[in-house]
Amino acid sequence: MIYTVTFSPALDYVIDLDELRLGETNRSKKESYYFGGKGINVSTVLTNLGIENTALGFVSGFTGSALERGLKEAGLKTDFIHLEEGITRINIKLRMKQETEINTQGAAITESKLEALLGQLERLKEDDTLVISGNIPNTLPDNIYEIMLKRLGGRGIRFVVDATGMLLKNVLKYRPFLIKPNRSELEELTESKIQNDADLEVGAKKLQDLGARNVLVSLGGDGAYLLCENGKQFRVPAIREAVKNTVGAGDSMVAGFLAGYMRKKDYEYALKLGIAAGSATACSEGLAKREKIEEFFQKI
């Protein structure tokens, strides 16, 4: 079973504008909303691809109820912990010539509620997969990723970590099955410039030496690079189509990769399905559906 953790889910409210005039009344051209959060994005695309999984995390208030209900209606399996105060976040995304995001803080997670989540994770067993991703709310310990992986280490659980900076670097010692930095994050982690494929290999190998088993580097319009734990490496270009939406594309890549690995235990196939899922989301209004992902997979 695959489990995803989203500490601070959100309702993403997307507003299309011609322009934003500060200090004046602005009228939108179109509005839409999506159920967001990096772990939830992974769970949604996994579900779209027919891969069983459970979304964990915290919800609260009327927005949390709406999010939980909406995910279940979409076919997702959830086991959220309900916070007693505050509301699940509403993030504002303004689409104009340039996209602007306003991400809110969300409800505070108490120590007892965090312990409840850690108790849920204790039920994971050998060959399960745990996906943790995104930033940590300021009400949680800044080493919460390390706490989680230390408690679950040695049980044969696959850890997938999609985080940045020291948040990622500090958990490499727990041998995560997969990490997914982008180009700039890889440069930051390795303190080196990535200018070509040879640099990608050197940078990914540094993270492997620190403990990562498989290093998947997302390269935006240039596709992705994968250095596998068996020493093989693969480079797949992106699919060139008009980009409509960048939100969730990286999470979709993680989901596609995991779906491909679960199906065939083949890293090259997993990378191609990951590219297809990420590209399909980038070319969709929301997270990609199975038909779109399969269509894009045939184009690789």
C-alpha to C-alpha distance for 133 and 115, rounded to whole angstroms: 19
With b meaning 16 or more CB within 10 Å and e meaning fewer, what string describes 72-94? Answer: eeeebebebbebeebbbbbbebb
87-120-167 Cα angle (round to 5): 70
Q: Tell me if residue 151 falls in helix, strand or coil.
A: helix
DSSP secondary structure, 50-88, as one string: T--EEEEEEE-HHHHHHHHHHHHHTT--B-PEEPSSS--
- Facing residues of 147 across strands? none
- E strands, the chain, are 2-6, 10-16, 30-36, 53-59, 81-82, 89-95, 99-102, 129-133, 158-162, 178-179, 214-218, 224-227, 233-236
Q: Which amino acid is at 182?
A: N
DSSP secondary structure, 33-46, as one string: EEEE-HHHHHHHHH
User: Any idea of the CA torsion for 255, 260, 261, 264, to the nearest 10 degrees?
Assistant: 160
In the numeric block, the tokens 């693969």 are attached to: 234
For 132, list phi and psi in degrees, rounded to 5.
Answer: -120, 135
Annotated catalytic residue: which of 142, 197, 251, 266? Answer: 251
Question: Is position 128 annotated as part of the catalytic site?
Answer: no
Give CA separation, 67 vs 28, 100, 136, 218, 292, in Å: 23, 23, 20, 28, 24
Q: Tell me if residue 225 falls in helix, strand or coil.
A: strand
User: Which residues are identified as catalytic?
Assistant: 251
